[in-house]
Amino acid sequence: MIHNAQQSDPAVPAIEVENLTVSYGAVPALLDVSFTIAKGQLVGVIGPNGSGKSTLIKTILGFLKPDVGTVRVLGTPVEKARKSVAYVPQRGTVDWDFPITVAEVAMMGRYGHIPWWSWGPSKEDKEIVDEALEMVRMQDLRHRQIGQLSGGQQQRVFMARALAQGAEVLLLDEPFAGVDAATERAILDVLENAKLSGRTLVVVHHDLATAAEYFDALLLLKQRLFALGTPDQVLHAELLSEVYEGNVRAFSQLQSSIERKG
């Protein structure tokens, strides 16, 4: 079993966001967003394109500085919790021509753990990376350059890096984008296992039809926080029509999901 997340006090929330406003130039991408995510939850972040989902993830990570508001991760400012937070970026934002192998990307998850005086990764670091690659079923391709992988394989390599880090909080930006059904299932299994080992996962997700099935809670965003609750509470026709402005595809997906459930 891959190292359980180091368990901190269960009463401390995984993520606390208070009155968060984040702008690029003059236009706020997030406006006065506040919420709390308890530990051990698998949370989906939904909302249309440009609604601020990636901005929220990057702000929680400390990559973007808010105009106003605060973010706390595991009870402290994110700068102090860096080792405990792992990130799987949205796929289009990564330089896939960078000459690095699958195993090397996964080992990047261990960098924060390798002391500066050592010669490099320990036997334990290597075992952890092997386990992480096993979990995402990428062991066979461990020596492949990342530029020579399919989209779904690339996504799984970044999941392996996040798992190898042993972080308690995982932030994933659209891990299911552009993957086939089998890879989607494999990634979901990895997310569920990570949750079972005590981790908290926040996952940007596009598909409303699967949102209820995959997540314990949903956070509906469009510049402002429109809702945070169980999928039943959040996936409401009126709310979605307001946020998605009658987007037909979103509705037909939701409709079919409701029909499947009923």
Ligand X SMILES: Nc1ncnc2c1ncn2[C@@H]1O[C@H](COP(=O)(O)OP(=O)(O)OP(=O)(O)O)[C@@H](O)[C@H]1O
49 belongs to the binding site for ligand X (CB under 6 A): yes
Among 10, 50, 112, 229, binds ligand X (CB under 6 A): 50
Map residues 38-67 to x or -, x wherever contact with Mg ion holds by CB under 5 A.
---------------xx-------------
59 belongs to the binding site for ligand X (CB under 6 A): no
What do you get for the CA distance between the two ends of the chain, in Å?
37
Shortest gap between Cβ of 51 and ligand X (angstroms)? Answer: 4
Residues in the chain: 262
219 belongs to the binding site for ligand X (CB under 6 A): no
CA pair distance 243, 81, nearest whole angstrom: 33
Nearer to ligand X, 55 or 165 (CB): 55
The answer to whether residues 21 and 65 touch, using CB atoms and an 8 Å cutoff, is no
CA pair distance 225, 165, nearest whole angstrom: 30
51 binds, among ligand X, Mg ion, none (CB under 5 to 8 A by kind): ligand X
Residue 171: CA count within 13 A, CB half-sphere? 24
- Write the burial class of residue 210 (CB in 10 Å: 0-12 exposed, 13-18 middle, 19+ buried): middle
Shortest gap between Cβ of 27 and ligand X (angstroms)? Answer: 7
The answer to whether residues 201 and 215 touch, using CB atoms and an 8 Å cutoff, is no
Q: Which residue is listed with tokens 């307001």?
A: 242
Map residues 108-147 to x or -, x wherever contact with ligand X holds by CB under 6 A.
----------------------------------------
Shortest gap between Cβ of 251 and ligand X (angstroms)? Answer: 17
Among 15, 20, 29, 136, binds ligand X (CB under 6 A): 29
Nearer to ligand X, 51 or 154 (CB): 51
In the complex, which residues of this chain contact ligand X (CB under 6 A)? Answer: 24, 29, 47, 49-55
